[in-house]
Structure 1
Amino acid sequence: MADANRQVTRQPRGDATRQSILEAAEKVFADLGYAAARLEDVAQVVGIRRPSIVYYFPGKQQLYDQVDADIFASMHEFVLKRVEGVDDPMARLLALLDAWLDFLVGRPTAARIIQRLIADPAPRGDNPVRFSESALHDIEAVIAMGVSAGTFRPVSAMHILNGVAAGALFYVCNAGQLGDARAYDPANPAELERFRALVHKLAEAAVIS
């Protein structure tokens, strides 16, 4: 009974440590990229030793995979809440784009990691959509809905992804990369709403005949 009680009390601490490792790893991978990041860097951010990370994640690839999995799973869950009950194709598309934008603004490390994944697919090996499949399915589904209903012209979901939705990544990641005179705060409400309005206009122009 005493051993069982000790196990119960240890579990929340273990879960908290694992979560702290994931959060630190997301920041380290976002800042340094997969190749340059080390488990020691993550351990330093958390305030633990490297062997403690290996207890939860056997190596850097497994930790990176879990960070990616968490980002896309969290983004998919965020989207589902935003589009729930939205049946009109255009309203659903805009709700999806808004969800992606708001998710990335609120979690800029995720935006930087996704941008790094696009630029360097090597860490994903032979399955580049292993974790991003849910995001691709989300936009394919809403475009297919609109085309089927006759609301959208026949258009490639990947064109909408690349030509409209991807702007959210640049909006978040580029804020401090354009020189002091052009710097902006992506989370500033006025700035964010101006960009959101532009995304809406681009989306409407892209799918309406």
Structure 2
Amino acid sequence: MTVANAERQVARQPRGDATRQSILEAAERVFADLGYAAARLEDVAQAVGIRRPSIVYYFPGKQQLYDQVEADIFASMHDFVLKRVEDASDPMARLLALLDAWLDFLVERPAAARIIQRLIADSAPRGDNPVRFSETALRDIEAVITMGVEVGAFRPVSAMHILNGVAGGALFYVCNGGQLGEERSYDPANPVELSAFRALLHKLAEAAVLHPGEKG
């Protein structure tokens, strides 16, 4: 490769990275709105303002694009959690920090919340390994609950019960804002709404894991 070609390659790289990121962001919205089965690469291309072959340059097909979208969602959520819980050594504080992290992540990224909700209802896109990318989220909550139980701060409780009975509420809170009829609609990102729901989430978590008679 000549020096001139190398310089052109370096110049193209940031532009290529930006295009790839734009494709991923548009694909997240399209998959959230249409679901995996109905979404087409053409839909994503139109959302980005490029042609379908430009997507195939980065992602060979719809499955590969979807895989990368899902991988990015859960990797980003895991990183978000790690930053929130790093200073919380007490099990209860760590659990609340994790729940807050999930809630805030989903509020900031509602398309990701809708994709996760679709995954719960339809595992077809994941085939034989439904937790291929969500394993990190499951391990995050399992680690917190296991630590709390082992040190006696929490009563013996299933991490998956906490996931379904408490943490799952954040997903419904974000996804249901416009799905309950005009009279019940709300903005999940509204500070007043968000603060009230966060307080409820904390109370539910404390009631679910603390020993009878204890208060958080």
Task: Give the alignment's TM-score, normalised by structure 1.
Answer: 1.00
Q: Which runs of 5+ in 1 are unaligned?
A: none
- Which position in structure 2 is the counterpart of 1:196? 198
- Tell whether 2:113 aligns with 1:126: no
- Which position in structure 2 is the counterpart of 1:100? 102
- Tell whether 2:170 aligns with 1:147: no
Task: Give the partner amino acid of 1:68.
Answer: E
1:109 corresponds to which of 108, 111, 131: 111
Q: Classify the secondary structure of the residue corresponding to 1:166.
A: helix
Q: Number of residue pairs matched?
A: 209
CA–CA distance in 2 between the matches of 1:115 and 1:81?
24
- What do the CA deviations read for 1:57-109 (whole angstroms, capped 9, x no partner)? 00000000000000000000000000012100000000000000000000000
2:186 corresponds to which of 184, 191, 203: 184
2:69 corresponds to which of 54, 67, 75: 67
Alignment of 1:2-41 (within 5 A): 2-41=4-43
Q: Classify the secondary structure of the residue corresponding to 2:38.
A: coil
Task: Give the alignment's TM-score, normalised by structure 2.
Answer: 0.96
Taking only aligned residues, the RMSD between alpha carbons, in angstroms, comes to 0.4
Task: Give the partner amino acid of 1:149.
Answer: V
Q: Which runs of 5+ in 2 are unaligned?
A: 212-216
Shift of 1:184: 0.4
Question: Which 4+ residue blocks in structure 1 deviate beyond 3 angstroms?
Answer: none
- What do the CA deviations read for 1:92-131 (whole angstroms, capped 9, x no partner)? 0000000000000000000000000000000000000000
Q: Classify the secondary structure of the residue corresponding to 1:154.
A: coil
% of aligned pairs identical? Answer: 85
Q: Classify the secondary structure of the residue corresponding to 1:200.
A: helix
- Which position in structure 2 is the counterpart of 1:167? 169
- What do the CA deviations read for 1:124-162 (whole angstroms, capped 9, x no partner)? 000000000000000000000000110000000000000
